[in-house]
Amino acid sequence: MTMSQTKETLTAAGAAEFESAVSARNISKNYGEVEALRDMSLEFPRGQLTSLLGPSGCGKTTLLKIIAGLLEPSSGEIEVNGKRVTGPGPDRAFVFQDFALLPWATVLRNVAFGLEMRGVAASEREARAEKYIKEVGLAGFENSYPHELSGGMRQRVGLARALAVDAQVLLMDEPFSAVDEQTRRKFQEDLLQLVQNENKTFIFVTHSIEEAVYVSDQIAILLPRPSRVSEIIRPSSFRNKGVDNIRRDPEYLDIVDEIWASLRSYVE
């Protein structure tokens, strides 16, 4: 079975079963001579978390930034809720790998940044920012500056900023890669809660196989040179068994092994 056949059958199955919040259609991206993405198509089911997983250089962050409207595809198109993406929009919010917090602004102002740019009045945006600061567990740090917080806390600020604008689609670019292992596990558990509680579509870029299998409803394995979707995996049985049981579930362990087997040859 060739790769392209795999891709076609899987995306067809995905489209039939789920309503897509975000569709990527035949996306290509070239940087001069370098081909970052070639003819990539992928569906992102509404209300679920889809991970883009792959070795470095497979174009997963590029695809995410194209969905965000931060990069223009060389060809192809992105649709969010049936509308074609031409740039950043209020239906999408981004969580950055390096947090991208403004160091001269307090936690409150950082979280309220998106609302401020949308022209929400000061009192209302502060109230909403405070609500989300509490929700990510940073109550009491409203007036702290980013440099006074730990790495994990800073990413919580980044997450609160993205939640505060109440976009339907949350784009997360390796959000937990710059925090320590324990904080990361806590984040992953919180993320599962968040997917369950918020009716949002999550697109999550990661290079950690375990992380992808742990948090995702759907995992798209991307392979480099040229970049393509090689496989789509939808874990089924362990999602509802509770956060403590996922890591010893046989299906979880099998999927992790399976993914490693297919990625192994691409890692130098």
By CB under 8 A, name the binding residues for another protein: 65, 68-70, 87-90, 92-94, 96-98, 100, 102-106, 113-114, 117-118, 145-147, 150-151, 161, 165, 178-180
Nearest to residue 60, comparing CAs of 248, 265, 235, 221? 221
Q: Which is nearer to another protein, 161 or 228 (CB)?
A: 161
Q: How far apart are CA 194 and CA 248, in angstroms?
A: 22
Distance of closest approach, residue 96 Cβ to another protein, in angstroms: 6
Rounded CA-CA distance 88/47 in Å is 20
Q: How far is residue 41's CA from residue 228's CA, in Å, rounded to a whole number?
A: 8
Dist. CA 153–CA 159, nearest whole Å: 10
Residue (65 or 207) nearer to another protein, CB: 65
Residue 245 Cα to chain centre, angstroms: 23
Of 126 and 217, nearer to another protein (C-beta) is 126
Least Cβ distance, residue 235 to another protein (angstroms) = 29
Q: How far is the CB of 1 from another protein (least distance, A)?
A: 38
Nearer to another protein, 58 or 93 (CB): 93
Query: By C-beta, is 10 or 22 nearer to another protein?
Result: 22
Nearer to another protein, 135 or 173 (CB): 173
With the CA atoms of 198, 171, 208 and 225 taken in that order, what torsion angle do they form, in degrees rounded to the nearest 10? Answer: 150
Cis peptide upstream of residue 175 (ω within 30 degrees of 0): no
With beta carbons less than 8 A apart as the criterion, state whether 174 and 97 touch.
Answer: yes
Tokens of 194: 């968040």
Q: How far is the CB of 47 from another protein (least distance, A)?
A: 22
In contact, 61 and 36? CB cutoff 8 Å: no
Q: Please give the Cα distance from 68 to 260 (Å, whole number).
A: 28
Smallest gap, in angstroms, from Cβ of residue 244 to another protein? 27
Q: For residues 146 and 235, which CB has a smaller minimum distance to another protein in the complex?
A: 146
Residues 6+ apart with CB under 8 A from 188: 176, 211, 214, 215
CB of 174 to another protein, least distance (A): 12
Shortest Cβ 104–another protein spacing (Å): 4
